[in-house]
Amino acid sequence: MFDSDIISGWVSPSNIVTINDYYSDSESEPALDTSLGGSSDVNLISGYISDTFTTLTFVRKLKTKDEKFDREIFATGANDMIYAWGKSSDKGLDYHGNNHNHVHIDFSKKNGIPDTAFGYEESGQLSRSLVNVSYYGALSTWQSEPAGSSTVYNVPFGSVADLADDGSGQPLLLLSLLERNIINIQLYPACSLHIFTTPESIAQINHPEYFDVMTKPRTTLLGHLVPVPDAELEQAREIYLEKHPTSKAWIGFSDFILYRFMVDDVYVVGGFGNEHYIGWISTEQYLSN
């Protein structure tokens, strides 16, 4: 990461805690600030390893005197940060490889999420908006038996599914008992719902020269389907039919069931480029919007 201010620390297998102040002046391994003529401005407080996490606590001034190698950290507003993790040994850290993520942090916010477009994506609000405005998504399950004349099974099977949002963020889907995904979930309940439709993309769908889905926001919900309880069915039907009025012709058929997609995890791609958030969102955070 050229021209990057880096703090790197680790806890070794023998419980030696280390933290250092680095700067990257090339596309290769970063160097200690002190080796480049700067100073070390990071002070370790503690570090330990649990069964799940490695925790390092340290302090650094928001603005140091080492202005050539230390970026100013803003107490309010968005700070653009990349974090990475990897294995450590008594010799130090191994290369992190693909273990990295990109976030914006506002230290004045309790949840750290800034009031910016990036924060809108990172907070789960974008995913909730996509669920609300979309008419359909791609529902995927695990193929539960050999496909066709082949012996292929236990692989993802996807199909288009209409959806409607009742305000909970857990979409309503009207599906036939004969639908392949409904057959699959009898053996493997886990499924995903990928949503990428927005008013903008719907308007542009007939003009492919202006439409590139890879640059558009999209979200994937991971979870499972449950039939809407009888006590909630009448209201759920009204909400679904308001968005999909033509479904009135078959919503009452005995082999069509109204399901709710119960969200267990959320992944979002805000768009293309570093100005967008790409990553996981906690279920609690998503549902709280």
Is residue 216 a part of any domain in this protein?
yes
Q: Rg of the Cα trace of the chain?
A: 24
* Number of separate domains in the chain: 2
Q: 184-202 pLDDT, tens per residue?
A: 999 999 999 999 876 565 5
Q: Which residues contact 179 (CB under 8 A, 6 or more apart)?
A: 159
**DSSP assigned state of 229:** P
Comparison of pLDDT for 193 and 217, the residue scoring more: 193
Strand 4-11 and strand 278-281: the pairing is unpaired
Domain limits for position 214: 125-288
Instruction: Write the single-letter amino acid at 78.
Output: A
Confidence of residue 3 (pLDDT cuts 50, 70, 90): confident
**H or E element at residue 192:** strand 191-195
Residues forming beta bridges with residue 265, ordered by sequence position: 222
Last residue of one domain, picked from the residues 77, 96, 115:
115
Same domain, 265 and 140: yes
Q: From the CB of residue 61, how many other CB atoms can be counted at a distance below 10 Å?
A: 13
Same domain, 255 and 183: yes
Report CA 204 to chain centroid distance, whole Å.
25
Residue 217 and residue 259 in one domain: yes
Taking only the tens place, the pLDDT of each residue in 62-84 is: 999 999 999 999 999 999 999 99
Beta bridge partners of 286: none
- Helix then strand then coil, % of the chain, to nearest 5: 20, 35, 45
Amino acid sitting at position 15:
N
Tell me if 120 is assigned to some domain: no
Contact, 259 vs 172, CB < 8 A? yes
User: Are both 158 and 107 inside the same structural domain?
Assistant: no
H-run or E-run covering 125: helix 125-133
Model pTM score: 0.84
Shared domain for 284 and 155, answered yes or no, is yes
Spatial separation of the C-alpha atoms in residues 151 and 141, rounded to whole Å: 17
